[in-house]
Amino acid sequence: MKLKKVICLGLVGLFTFSSITSVPSRTLAVETSDSSVSSQSSSVVNSDSSTTKTESSVNDTAISDASSNEVQTRADTTEMTQANDTNPLAPTAADGVQNPSWSGLHIILPIIPGIIVQPQSEQYLVADSRSKMAVADLSLKVSTWLLLVLGSNVVVTPTRWTLQGDHKTWIKTTDSTVSDHFWTNTNPKMELPTNLAVGTYYFQYDVTVHGLLGLGTKHKTSKLVKVVVVPSPIDATSITMTAPKVVFENATYTGTAMTTPNDATGLIEWNSSLADKIMWDQKKGRNASYVMTQPMDINTSTTNPGIKKQISAQITNTETATSGNLVDYKDIYAGGLVAKEMATNDGGTWSLDAQGLSDLGDVTTPEDGSNVSWKYQWQYSNNNGNTFTNLNNKNSEGVSNYQGSIQQVTDLTAADNVLTFTKKSGFIKQAAAATKAGTPYVMRAVLTASIPTGNGDTQDITINSNKAQLSVTAPVGHLSLDKVPTFNFGDVTAADIYNGTIGMKQTKPEARSILAITDSRVDSDDWSLSAKMTKFIDNEKAELTSESMIQMNNIMGNRSLVISDNNTSYNLLDSKDGNAGTWVTTGQLILNANHQAKLMAGQRFGSTITWNLTSSQITVKAA
Within 354-432, strands assigned E span 373-381, 389-390, 399-400, 403-406, 419-421
Cβ atoms of 532 and 609 within 8 Å: the answer is yes
For residue 617, what are the contacts with CB-CB under 8 A and spacing of at least 6? 344, 345, 432, 474, 475, 479, 521, 524, 526
Q: What is the mean pLDDT of residues 407-423?
A: 93
Asked, colleague to colleague, whether 336-473 and 479-615 share their fold, the answer is yes
Rounded Cα–Cα distance for residues 335 and 307 (Å): 7
| Phi, then psi, of 69 in degrees rounded to 5 | -100, 5
**What pLDDT score does 549 carry?**
93
Residue 1: pLDDT over 70:
no
Cβ atoms of 356 and 307 within 8 Å: the answer is no
Q: Is 2 left (phi over 0), alpha (psi -120 to 50) or beta?
A: alpha
Q: Is 299 left (phi over 0), alpha (psi -120 to 50) or beta?
A: beta
How is the chain split into domains, by residue range? 14-44+52-59+77-231, 336-473, 479-615
Residue 56: pLDDT over 50:
no
For residue 180, what are the contacts with CB-CB under 8 A and spacing of at least 6? 21, 23, 45, 46, 153, 154, 188, 190
Residue 590: pLDDT over 80:
yes
**What pLDDT score does 418 carry?**
96
**What pLDDT score does 60 carry?**
37
Q: What is the mean pLDDT of residues 580-600?
A: 90
Q: Encode pLDDT of 95-115 as tens digits.
A: 999 988 866 666 666 666 777
Task: Give 3-state DSSP helix, strand, coil % of the chain, rounded to 5.
Answer: 10, 40, 50
Q: Encode pLDDT of 429-449 as tens digits.
A: 999 999 999 999 999 999 999
Q: What is the mean pLDDT of residues 177-181?
A: 73
| Phi, then psi, of 206 in degrees rounded to 5 | -95, 125
Say whether domain 479-615 belongs to CATH 2.60.40: yes
Query: How does the average pLDDT of the chain come out, rounded?
Result: 80
DSSP string, 462-481: EEE--EEEEEEESPSS-EEE
Q: Number of H helices and number of E strands within the chain?
A: 4, 42
Q: Encode pLDDT of 202-219 as tens digits.
A: 999 988 877 665 556 778
Give the CATH number of domain 336-473: 2.60.40
Element (H, E) at 2: helix 2-14
507 or 85, higher pLDDT: 507
Residue 92: pLDDT over 50:
yes
DSSP string, 515-547: EEEEE-SSS---EEEEEEEPPPB-TTS-B--S-
Residue 623: pLDDT over 80:
no
Rounded Cα–Cα distance for residues 206 and 211 (Å): 16
pTM metric for this prediction: 0.68
Strands in 252-260's sheet, in edge-to-edge order, are: 238-242, 252-260, 287-292, 278-282
pLDDT band at residue 88 under the 50/70/90 scheme: confident
405 or 320, higher pLDDT: 405
Residue 576: pLDDT over 70:
yes
Rounded to 10 degrees, what is the CA torsion of 490, 493, 497, 503? -90
Strand partners, 404: 376
Which among 229, 209, 228, 227 has a CA at the least distance from the CA of 219?
A: 209
Range from 75-89, 99-113, 276-290, 534-548 carrying the lowest mean pLDDT = 75-89
Q: Encode pLDDT of 264-312 as tens digits.
A: 999 999 999 998 899 998 999 999 999 999 889 999 999 999 999 999 9
76 or 114, higher pLDDT: 114
DSSP assignment letter at 284: B
Rounded Cα–Cα distance for residues 378 and 611 (Å): 44
**What pLDDT score does 40 carry?**
29
Distance set, CA 186 to CA 18, 142, 621 (Å) = 7, 11, 61
Q: Compute how many other C-beta atoms are within 10 angstroms of the C-beta atom of residue 309.
A: 20
**What pLDDT score does 116 carry?**
78
pLDDT band at residue 550 under the 50/70/90 scheme: very high
Q: What is the mean pLDDT of residues 227-254?
A: 95
Q: Encode pLDDT of 113-126 as tens digits.
A: 777 788 899 999 99
**What pLDDT score does 103 carry?**
67
pLDDT band at residue 85 under the 50/70/90 scheme: low
334 or 622, higher pLDDT: 334
Q: Encode pLDDT of 7-45 as tens digits.
A: 222 222 223 333 344 434 333 333 323 332 223 223 333
Regarding beta strands 169-174 and 105-107, do their DSSP bridges make them parallel or antiparallel, or are they unpaired?
A: unpaired
pLDDT band at residue 167 under the 50/70/90 scheme: confident
